[in-house]
């Protein structure tokens, strides 16, 4: 067991024994060696389930919303992207800071789960794409901190190498080619909503896709309904997406969802200046306030 895991378990045990929180949310080993799903620990004797390894992908801040109406505090482990998601939820007043105990854990960059499954346990498994591009591996907010922050020069190198080339490649296509590209992707969509369910930015109490009686979206699995779903979901997380890549990771049909998210991030940066969601908790949201100097090129 690594020192980090020992420390995780020690902190979780102490929190639960002292009754500082009624549940600690971390990661545990799943049904396969390349899966480390969320763990919800509420007894000190169960902290040994907690792990920290190359597959702790789930963004745990997502689960805080399940506890907003509960008495007492919740403790969660946060890597860089989880902490950005936490800040986003705070900005939207979806959670209260003093009801959460944050245990920060700097992230070494996780491995690609699909490649792990394909290549096997002893292979040299590449990093997940989101982690190669990550610019915030260190938790931005925490009450406890485990280990040492990832060196800032590595983080700066990732910032300089910010890569929108995949988005730019799509931008060069004609409208018909773009339609064909996205139609090919989303004709495979099952509308399982796993991408929505895992997303910490999808935090509406009533989701448009669940309002079946109003009829915003039909049940039919066809190009038109699927594209409506894809575009609406992407627009609803515009300016809120913290680039944790969870939507794309969990998609059973390998739809390149991050391409849509990144397109919106790129456009927001272009129109409103550089912006990283969930970094400055007191900052203004680019799509959340009005400024007379905002471009209005469509009017």
How far apart, in whole angstroms, are the C-alpha atoms of residue 203 and residue 90? 12
Does 110 help bind ligand SF4 (rule: CB under 6 A)? Answer: yes
- Please list, in sequence order, all residues whose beta carbon lies within 8 angstroms of the beta carbon of residue 210, skipping any fewer than 6 positions away: none
Please identify which residue in 1, 68, 156, 192 interacts with ligand SF4, judged by CB under 6 A.
192
Does 80 help bind ligand SF4 (rule: CB under 6 A)? Answer: yes
Beta strands in the chain (DSSP E): 23-27, 38-41, 74-78, 100-104, 144-145
How far apart, in whole angstroms, are the C-alpha atoms of residue 85 and residue 23? 19
Does 89 help bind ligand SF4 (rule: CB under 6 A)? Answer: no
**Cβ atoms of residues 100 and 20 within 8 Å:** no
Does 275 help bind ligand SF4 (rule: CB under 6 A)? Answer: no
Does 90 help bind ligand SF4 (rule: CB under 6 A)? Answer: no
Does 12 help bind ligand SF4 (rule: CB under 6 A)? Answer: no
Does 242 help bind ligand SF4 (rule: CB under 6 A)? Answer: yes
- Please list, in sequence order, all residues whose beta carbon lies within 8 angstroms of the beta carbon of residue 156, skipping any fewer than 6 positions away: none
Does 278 help bind ligand SF4 (rule: CB under 6 A)? Answer: no
Window of 25-33, 171-179, 254-262, 286-294 that interacts with ligand SF4 by CB under 6 A: 254-262
- Report, in angstroms and rounded to the nearest whole number, the Rg of the chain calculated over CA atoms: 20
The site map against ligand SF4 for 114-133 (x = CB under 6 A) is ----------------xx--
Does 244 help bind ligand SF4 (rule: CB under 6 A)? Answer: yes
Does 137 help bind ligand SF4 (rule: CB under 6 A)? Answer: yes
How far apart, in whole angstroms, are the C-alpha atoms of residue 58 and residue 52? 12
**Cβ atoms of residues 28 and 46 within 8 Å:** no
Total binding residues toward ligand SF4, as defined by CB under 6 A: 35
Q: Give the residues across from 77 on adjacent strands.
A: 103
Nearer to ligand SF4, 28 or 48 (CB): 28
**Cβ atoms of residues 148 and 106 within 8 Å:** yes
Please identify which residue in 104, 200, 239, 286 interacts with ligand SF4, judged by CB under 6 A.
200
Does 63 help bind ligand SF4 (rule: CB under 6 A)? Answer: no
> Dihedral of the CA atoms 188, 60, 55, 4 (nearest 10)?
170
Is 24 strand, coil or helix?
strand
Any idea which residue has 């969870």 for tokens? Answer: 246
- As measured in angstroms, the least distance from the Cβ of 104 to ligand SF4 is 11
Does 259 help bind ligand SF4 (rule: CB under 6 A)? Answer: no
Does 239 help bind ligand SF4 (rule: CB under 6 A)? Answer: no
Helix 223-236 vs helix 257-272: crossing angle, to nearest 10:
40
Does 231 help bind ligand SF4 (rule: CB under 6 A)? Answer: no
Does 194 help bind ligand SF4 (rule: CB under 6 A)? Answer: yes
Please identify which residue in 191, 266, 272, 279 interacts with ligand SF4, judged by CB under 6 A.
191
Which residues here bind ligand SF4, judged by CB under 6 A? Answer: 79-81, 107, 109-110, 130-131, 134, 137, 189-195, 198-201, 237, 241-247, 251-253, 255, 257, 261
């Amino acid at each position: 067991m690594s020192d980090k895991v020992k420390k995780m378990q020690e902190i979780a045990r102490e929190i639960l024994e002292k009754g500082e929180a009624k549940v600690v949310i971390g990661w545990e080993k799943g049904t396969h060696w390349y899966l480390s799903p969320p763990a919800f620990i509420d007894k000190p004797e169960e902290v040994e389930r907690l792990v920290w390894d190359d597959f702790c992908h789930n963004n745990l801040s997502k689960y805080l919303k399940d506890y907003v109406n509960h008495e007492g505090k919740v403790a969660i482990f946060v890597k860089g992207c989880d902490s950005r998601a936490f800040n986003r939820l705070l900005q939207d007043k979806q959670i209260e800071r003093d009801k959460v105990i944050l245990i920060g854990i700097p992230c070494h960059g996780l491995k690609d789960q699909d490649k792990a499954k394909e290549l096997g346990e002893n292979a040299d498994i590449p990093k997940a794409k989101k982690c190669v591009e990550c610019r915030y591996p260190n938790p931005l907010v925490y009450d406890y901190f485990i280990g040492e922050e990832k060196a800032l020069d590595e983080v700066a190198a990732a910032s300089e190498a910010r890569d929108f080339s995949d988005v730019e490649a799509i931008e060069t296509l004609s409208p018909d080619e773009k339609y064909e590209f996205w139609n090919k992707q989303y004709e495979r969509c099952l509308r399982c909503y796993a991408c929505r369910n895992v997303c910490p930015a999808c935090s509406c109490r009533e989701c448009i896709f669940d309002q079946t009686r109003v009829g915003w979206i039909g049940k039919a699995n066809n190009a038109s309904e699927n594209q409506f779903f894809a575009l609406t979901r992407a627009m609803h997380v515009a300016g809120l997406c913290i680039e944790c890549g969870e939507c794309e990771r969990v998609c059973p049909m390998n739809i390149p969802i991050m391409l849509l998210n990144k397109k919106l991030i790129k456009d927001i940066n272009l129109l409103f200046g550089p912006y990283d969601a969930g970094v400055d908790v007191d900052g203004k949201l680019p799509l959340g306030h009005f400024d007379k100097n905002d471009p209005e090129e469509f009017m």
